[in-house]
Amino acid sequence: KKGIVHLLQSEGKGVDYLVLWLDCDREGENICFEVISCVMPNALSRPELRTPGPLQKIFRAKFSAVTPADIKKAMGSLGFPNEFESLSVEARQELDLKVGVAFSRFQTRYFQGKYSDLDARIVSYGPCQTPTLGFCVERHVLIQTFTPEPFWRVQPEAKKPGYPPTRFEWERGRMFDKRVASVFRELLLREGRIAVTNIVKREVKKGRPTPMNTVEMLKACSKALGMGPSHAMHTAESLYLQGYLSYPRTESTAYPGSYDIAEALNMHTRNPVWGDYATSLLHQGWTKPKGGVDVGDHPPITPCRGTRGDELYGEEARLFDLVTRHFLATISPDAVYLQTRVEAAGGGEKFVARGRIMVRPGWMAVMTMKYEEDVEYGDEEDEDDERGDEGAMPEFRVGETIELTE
């Protein structure tokens, strides 16, 4: 740290102007003032040097990606460092320190001597880390103390020529008393068939995903790519520094009004994998992204430059692939399924079978199933209705009786 201070003091000696290119969040604002204290310390007591006006010597660049376009745009619209955000960081640091010291002292005195295997001179407390550890411990205790309980369901199956067996779900769901469940099973076995009482067909939409923030990126990397949070952030930051991704630390899930979707799409038209899809969105028109939340720190995570398929390798290529597909999915139409619900009765009980077939793939054409299956992208139009099995169902008729095969 001392080396960085000496470097800034040496390189900044005698400068006329200072342009600050730090991260565009509160921590970045705080570092801005640390840099000012090294390069132009007199400006800390002279606000006119760092606020808009004829005497301004210190400027702040606001950017979210390390690309020529973003850098030129930031340089053409320089602002000023925000002292209030910097002071809020210092206040938070001081609170963290005081709370940490007080609770660390309390915990250390409380626990020492109570547990013989406690090998720690200090039982430290972190205002963020300790509550997070509490969530993990609570979840671990639930898993360790969970006692599985057996249950039974009646699930008749019927088969029509040319189709796989259709499984009907019991309206009662499940029972924890095997004897009672066996009675219902015997009643159904005596009849050996069920009668179709109602058929409902309708189109159901699976909504496109919202723009990606940091939490969603880490969840997707974990589930779809098998990458841990630390490794995923390191990879994303590497792509950011190379100019492939926008800033990967953001809470926003809404593209800003100034975001040029057409320009962003045009970058990907030459990619051998998703280039044709990006071209079709340009020609046929893209769908307005879902309304998310614009926190104001940074825009959602998006690709900042296109690739031709052989520029990135390994984990960087996999993460860039995921982010790009997600971006294309956010401006694609919703996926549409034709969902069929068949209601039947037998043995005095009611059953239902569901199935669905793809009508229009929409965004799922680019967010391939290897990602869609692992990560719960998109929202179902009807959350109360179960999804149903993929694939076409046999053609049933109301009043038809079907013999059971199992």
What is the DSSP track for 42-77?
A: GGGG-GGGSSSSTT--EEE---SS-SHHHHHHHHTT
List, for residues 18-36, the tens digit of each pLDDT value.
999 998 888 999 999 999 9
Give the DSSP H/E element, type plus range, for residue 357.
strand 349-360
What is the rounded distance in angstroms from the CA atom of residue 338 to the CA atom of residue 11? 66
What is the rounded distance in angstroms from the CA atom of residue 75 to the CA atom of residue 69? 10
pLDDT band (50, 70, 90) for residue 67 = confident
Asked whether 124 and 104 are in contact (CB, 8 A), the reply is yes
pLDDT band (50, 70, 90) for residue 6 = very high
Asked whether 357 and 172 are in contact (CB, 8 A), the reply is no
pLDDT band (50, 70, 90) for residue 366 = very high
The pLDDT value recorded for residue 384 is: 45
Asked whether 70 and 64 are in contact (CB, 8 A), the reply is yes
Those residues with Cβ within 8 angstroms of residue 187's Cβ, 6 or more apart along the chain or in another chain: 347, 348, 349
Residue 375 has pLDDT above 70, yes or no: no
Residue 54 has pLDDT above 70, yes or no: yes
User: 152 - beta bridge partners?
Assistant: 175
Q: pTM for the full model?
A: 0.76
Give the DSSP H/E element, type plus range, for residue 9.
helix 2-11
Structure tokens at 110: 């409380």
List the catalytic residue out of 247, 255, 277, 337.
247
Asked whether 348 and 187 are in contact (CB, 8 A), the reply is yes
Structure tokens at 96: 């963290």
List, for residues 231-258, the tens digit of each pLDDT value.
999 999 999 999 899 989 999 999 887 7
Radius of gyration of the chain (CA): 30
The pLDDT value recorded for residue 90 is: 96
The pLDDT value recorded for residue 383 is: 45
247 is catalytic: yes
What is the rounded distance in angstroms from the CA atom of residue 199 to the CA atom of residue 354? 10
3-state secondary structure of 332: coil
The pLDDT value recorded for residue 88 is: 96
Averaged pLDDT, 159-183: 91
- Helical pair 26-39 and 83-111, crossing angle rounded to 10 deg: 110
